[in-house]
Amino acid sequence: MLVLGIESSCDETGIALYDTEKGLLSHHLHSQIAMHAEYGGVVPELASRDHIRRVLPLTEACLKDANQTLADIDAIAYTEGPGLAGALLVGASIANALGFALGKPVIPVHHLEGHLLSPLLATPRPEFPFVALLVSGGHSQLMAVRGVGKYELLGETVDDAAGEAFDKTAKLLGLPYPGGPALSKLAEQGDPKRFTLPRPMLHSGDLDFSFSGLKTAVLTLVKQQAELTEQTKADIARAFQEAIVEVLVKKSVAALKQTGMKQIVVAGGVGANKQLRNQLDEAAAKRKLSVFYPPLAFCTDNGAMIAFAGAQRLQFANHDYRFMIKPRWDLSSLPAA
């Protein structure tokens, strides 16, 4: 079965073709970073309009790369939610219009399920069950994953998500949009011993996170500096990253201990962070645990994860082309595949 995946939940248009026998055949991604940089963040209306411009040309490029035609597609998967309403509507309407025109079924996909399953696109790949650490600009969660659609929330952020904290801290340091990757790069030049920042909820006794207070601590530290030199910015960035990574790693290890599982997968944009990967690898090696990551290209939003998740849910395909979007959508409401 050949599945076309369409991702349009926020500011990246992702298209991919996944074959249930041959694997991922092709994928294309257009990022709107340059367009939104002028505004310092995502402008929903501009995002929606850009998705309209990009979906069909990217689809044509994917088909050409895979030496396939529209007639070869067996099903079309699209992101139904969560995400920006206008952006979701673009992907949903185009997917259902294509499905109707081609007489092919369409499959609504939960965006977070796409992220959770994206490490299965890597080699080597984890086997069920595993703990998933989902860390992005909008989500920070630890999940017990026992199969497709079999998800148990173990802990989540009570305020800012990890990626959101990265972006807000970067803005405090005067770094360009998108702030998270810029802060991570700057932190590589920082002295880890110069400043120490709090580790929120590190000893809370549960698996929840809190990053809003860490951002406030950075603001206080910035105001205390007589001069905010580039080296001082790098040192603050390093202290922030040290704090957030320590919390993520220790909570992840605690989740494995609590569930008795031996594998953890990391998904979401923050999963590309080098320090997080290094420290998780070290912690896992000490405890004889396994860590899996999606390919770097699939850490952020992408069409490949939607095509793959759709391929796992072919039995839920919609044949009548009536659709809705779900800007807010509880992952635990999904049926098991």
Q: Do strands 290-292 and 263-267 pair parallel, antiparallel, or not at all (unpaired)? A: parallel
* Residue 137 assigned to a binding site: yes
* Residue 111 assigned to a binding site: yes
* Residue 11 assigned to a binding site: no
Enter the tokens of residue 79: 């992101």
* Residue 167 assigned to a binding site: yes
Cα separation of 187 and 104, whole Å?
48
* Residue 301 assigned to a binding site: yes
Q: Do strands 23-31 and 12-19 pair parallel, antiparallel, or not at all (unpaired)? A: antiparallel
Cα separation of 176 and 181, whole Å?
10
* Residue 136 assigned to a binding site: yes
Residue 152, strand partner residues:
144
* Residue 115 assigned to a binding site: yes
Q: Do strands 12-19 and 263-267 pair parallel, antiparallel, or not at all (unpaired)? A: unpaired
Look at phi and psi of residue 314 and say left if phi exceeds 0, alpha if psi is from -120 to 50, else beta.
alpha
SS3 label, residue 101: helix
H helix intervals, the chain:
33-37, 44-65, 85-102, 111-117, 162-172, 179-187, 212-224, 230-259, 274-287, 303-312
Q: Do 295 and 65 form a contact (C-beta atoms < 8 A)?
A: no
Q: Do strands 130-135 and 23-31 pair parallel, antiparallel, or not at all (unpaired)? A: unpaired
Which amino acids are annotated as binding site for substrate, given as ranges? Answer: 134-138, 167, 180, 273
Q: Binding site membership for Fe cation: which residues?
A: 111, 115, 301
- Enumerate the known binding-site residues: 111, 115, 134-138, 167, 180, 273, 301
